[in-house]
Chains A and B, each alone.
Chain A
Amino acid sequence: MSVVDPAPRVLKVSRGTSDKVFRGVILAGALFSLIVLALISGFLLYRGFEVFKDFGFSFFTSTKWDAASEDGLIPASYGVAAMLVGSMVIAAIAVFVAVPFAMSVALFLEYYAPQRIKSVLVSILDLIASIPSVIWGIWGYTILMPHAAGWSKSLNHWLGWFPLFKVPAPIFERSPFIAGLLLAMMILPIITSVAREVYSQAPRDQIDAAYGLGASKWGTMRAVVLPFGRGGLVGGTMLGLGRALGETVAVYLVLNLVFKINFQILASVGGNVASLIAGRFGEATPYELKALMAAGLVLFVLTLFVNFIATAIVARSAKGPQ
């Protein structure tokens, strides 16, 4: 019994000239983002190269940000260590505060809210996501800061023995804690929308099976929905982290720019790379401008890295856990 498989017919598409041109033009347009990304890193490196060359690795480890003295005896000294640590501290506070709330908002919208008002609430969430950072900044500066300073005071009063909550002087305005709280509110919508998306995709049959076995609502959430959405939540959190690392104006308005590595989150000392650029840009000397370009490159690479990881995690968890 020998059946000879007929060779599969090879499908060949021959495109006309107009289609070839069309596809070429569209591809060229689509690769524009590649050009922009390459140009950003290329130009910031080119402009900041002198600074990287002058300071070498100490650009990353030094906390000094001093211009050369008038008489030129003391040379300029630039390093982003303090601002880099500041960026991470603020972003960490923001994520730490935002994630539990984002989870509860996502669960509430998908499983607890009355279905009639759900779509209204989702629209409101989308609108909140589009509030510009300068408006969060002005609100944070005038409304949030007086309140948050009060909370900081009680935190320091009751938990002051904990190193994180110590302060060198009883001034509680413009601290990393307040900047982190404000950022938490700003990144909450993006974390929530990713979390909501993955929670809503939890398999219906497993949810019904859990209910069928007599699980309570919370039991079902814990056994089915939360494990299913874990990957997506991590990805959404990383997206929020990327946003928090690059935030400029809101942080600039509620944080004191001080060039010092500071882990006392209630103290009025801090800064991040983005607000450093915005704050120093106006009166920068040509050489300091180069240092700012170098700092911009560091920020660009950092956020790009965080976003790559986030995108990869979200893309993988969108298919569901294996």
Chain B
Amino acid sequence: MQTLRQRVVVFAIAAAIASILYAVTGLDGLLGWYVAFALSTVVAVAVQSFFTGRKSLSDRIASAVITIGFATVVIPWISLVFTVINRGWKAIYWGFFTHDMLVNSMDEPLNMGGISHAIVGTCVIVGVATLIAAPLGIIAAIYIVEINGRAARFVRFLTQAMSGVPSIVAGLFIYSTIVIAVTHKNNGIAGALSLAILMLPTVARTSEEVLKVVPREVRDSSYALGATQLRTTMRVVLPTVRSGLITATILGIARVAGETAPLLLTSQYALRLTTNMFDSTMASMPTYIFGALRTGTELSLARAWGAAMVLIALIVILSIIARLFGGRTKGRK
């Protein structure tokens, strides 16, 4: 094992080499310095272990490479979060949450107009999608775990296959059926249906994990008291895992809240705040961001970042609530 002092020395040497590399080669910016530092750390570690004993050479280098690999992956994450907050902050004022874009254009100053229509639209669309997908997902999980019938493996296979449906295909499907044949226009309900398709597998998978955790004894005691399977499931098993099922639903919501592609084909864009899902197109956060980005002016980009920050905040909050609720019952045996 290395002592702390040895490590500090290695890092200092690496930093020194990195600075020389940085000055000599064409690398620039923080990122360039990082690349130089990563390379020279590997070299410094190699040189150091060459002097302290060759046996550990490959081991030290592997440790350095793995740690640097992890650090490299984190860089875009930090950049993304930092950029969203840094740029999103500028677009946000109180009216951003209370105004829609009906009387304002994307290019007006940032203290006019807002995303209330997109927030309400996303809530309504995702809410209706949840009403459809959550019960169906939980039913699929009940079939796999509780009933465990002949088709259990098949149903599981199907839900996994469904989780691989590309989001744009879900949108295209709803467009080709509901919009063309039933409603004859793009509206919110079509958006909700396309999101429900994407949400169902997530809910089913997580609910399955949750139901599996219920001990066999709980069911057996219920049966021993003469309860039917219907009563056992409804009165004993499901109440036991209520918080876990809520977690599953929230994770499903977090999965689809930011879906853009299917909504581009179904509920599309709108400027007015509305809760009517049947009348006309309906705004939503992801399509608002996408639209503002495509407009491409400085002010519309700022609005896109503002909405992106609100959307990320929404998803992070949902994920945290899901975790607090269920303690994420992962099947660790």
Contact = CB atoms under 8 A, between A and B. Distances in A.
A47 interface: yes
A43 interface: yes
B158 A34 contact: yes
B269 to A, nearest CB: 10
Nearest to A103: B69
A43 B182 CA distance: 14
B329 interface: no
Nearest to A32: B136
Given A43-B177, A307-B164, A139 B260 contact: no
Interface string B225-245: 000111001000000000000
Interface stretch (A51-59, A71-79, A168-176, A291-299): A291-299
B73 A134 contact: no
Contacts of B312: 131, 135
Given A23-B147, A249-B260, A303-B165, A47 B176 contact: yes
A15 B293 CA distance: 59
Interface stretch (A61-69, A105-113, A202-210): A105-113
Contact of B73 (A27, A39, A105, A126): A105
Interface in B123-154: 135-136, 139-140, 142-144, 146-147, 149, 151
A101 B69 contact: yes
Interface string A216-248: 111101000000000000000001001001111
B264 A281 contact: yes
Nearest to A108: B70
Interface in B46-70: 55-56, 58-59, 62-63, 65-67, 69-70
Given A33-B159, A136-B80, A138-B293, A23 B229 contact: yes
A144 interface: yes
Interface string A96-125: 000011011101110011000000000110
Interface residues of B, number: 83
A36 B158 CA distance: 10
Contacts of A139: 79-80, 83-84
A302 to B, nearest CB: 9
A135 B311 CA distance: 9
Interface stretch (B4-12, B251-259, B273-281): B251-259
Nearest to A221: B62
Contact of B289 (A31, A134, A144): A134
B224 interface: no
B319 interface: yes
Interface stretch (B95-103, B107-115, B211-219, B300-308): B300-308
A261 B165 CA distance: 25
Nearest to B257: A132
A287 to B, nearest CB: 14
Contacts of B316: 127
Nearest to A134: B260
A16 interface: yes
Question: Main SS of chain A's interface residues?
Answer: helix
Contacts of B259: 132-133
Interface in A1-52: 15-16, 18-19, 21-23, 26-27, 29-34, 36-37, 39-40, 43-44, 46-47
B172 A296 contact: yes
Given A143-B83, A246-B169, A300-B166, A26 B58 contact: no
Nearest to A307: B164
Nearest to A277: B168
Contacts of A285: none
Given A29-B140, A33-B200, A274-B168, A138 B73 contact: no
A100 B69 contact: yes
Contacts of B151: 27, 30-31
B31 interface: yes
A216 B58 contact: yes
Interface in A142-172: 142-144, 147, 154
B14 interface: no
A103 to B, nearest CB: 8
Nearest to B56: A216
21 contacts: A30-B143, A30-B155, A31-B158, A37-B165, A40-B170, A104-B73, A108-B66, A113-B70, A132-B259, A134-B290, A135-B289, A138-B293, A138-B304, A138-B308, A139-B84, A217-B62, A248-B167, A249-B286, A303-B165, A311-B157, A311-B161
Interface of A: 15-16, 18-19, 21-23, 26-27, 29-34, 36-37, 39-40, 43-44, 46-47, 100-101, 103-105, 107-109, 112-113, 123-124, 126-128, 130-139, 141-144, 147, 154, 185, 188, 216-219, 221, 239, 242, 245-249, 253, 274, 277-278, 281, 292-293, 296, 299-300, 303-304, 306-308, 310-311
Given A30-B155, A34-B158, A43-B176, 19 more contacts: A23-B147, A30-B139, A31-B155, A32-B200, A33-B158, A36-B162, A40-B165, A101-B72, A128-B77, A136-B80, A137-B293, A138-B289, A138-B293, A143-B83, A216-B55, A246-B164, A248-B167, A278-B264, A304-B161
Interface of B: 26, 31, 55-56, 58-59, 62-63, 65-67, 69-70, 72-73, 76-77, 79-80, 83-84, 135-136, 139-140, 142-144, 146-147, 149, 151, 155, 157-170, 172-173, 176-177, 180, 197, 200-201, 204, 228-230, 233, 254-255, 257-261, 264-265, 286, 289-290, 293, 301, 304-305, 308, 311-312, 315-316, 319, 323
Question: Closest 5 A-B residue pairs measured CB to CB?
Answer: A132-B258, A246-B166, A104-B69, A307-B164, A29-B139
